[in-house]
Amino acid sequence: SAAMAHGHGPGRCRCCGEEAAERGAAWGLYLRIDRQRLQCLNERREGSGATVFRPWEERGDRSQFVESDDDEELLFNIPFTGSVKLKGVIVMGEDDGTHPAEMRLFRNIPHMSFDDTAKEPEQTFSLSRDPSGQLEYPTKIARFSNVYHLSMHFPKNFGAETTKIFYIGLKGEWMEAHRHEVTICNYEASANPADHKLEQITPQTHFIS
């Protein structure tokens, strides 16, 4: 694929700007989120959960964050516009008790509620406080190789009444979704009367050959 072919030879030296640009591009999965259907449960301000998914270069923007409301829990339901291979996650908060202390990832369970978080997650992470967005948590890629919906559950923080998240980075690869289109096309083709005429002609051609 073109994505794999792109790369630099081992002998080529790289300047900081180029490396930073590549690092930023690696964290580009936020572009593949279906934002119309993105949900953040227990967010204090409606729509604030969506703001934490933004370019890697803008992770330091302290004006955009989500804070939990009733207690310290947050739950994100993140539908993608295709199939994703998730390789890593960054979670950035304040250097205090509001920083999430644990992250649980679930794959392909759309519209999860807090009741659903009793299920066993695909992977659980103990988080460290990361006010500058430097820590990358690698996923077990085999479990996250065909993700069209990701749920992220933050059950607790470092002791504050509410949880605050400034930035969530998602690193990985994206493939266009063809699942639905294919089934629709097949169905329409079989319903087309012209196909039935072809079927009647086909047996005669076999006799001739």
Domain segments of the chain as ranges: 23-173
- Angle of CA points 37, 41, 43, to nearest 5°: 110
Task: Tell me which CATH code domain 23-173 carries.
Answer: 2.60.120.470
3 state SS of 60: coil
3 state SS of 11: coil
86 neighbors 144 (Cβ within 8 angstroms): yes
* The pLDDT value given to residue 1: 43
* The pLDDT value given to residue 26: 83
Q: Distances in Å between the alpha carbon of 28 and those of 85, 86, 123, 151, 174?
A: 12, 11, 22, 18, 9
pLDDT of 25-57, one tens digit each? 789 999 999 999 999 999 999 999 999 999 999
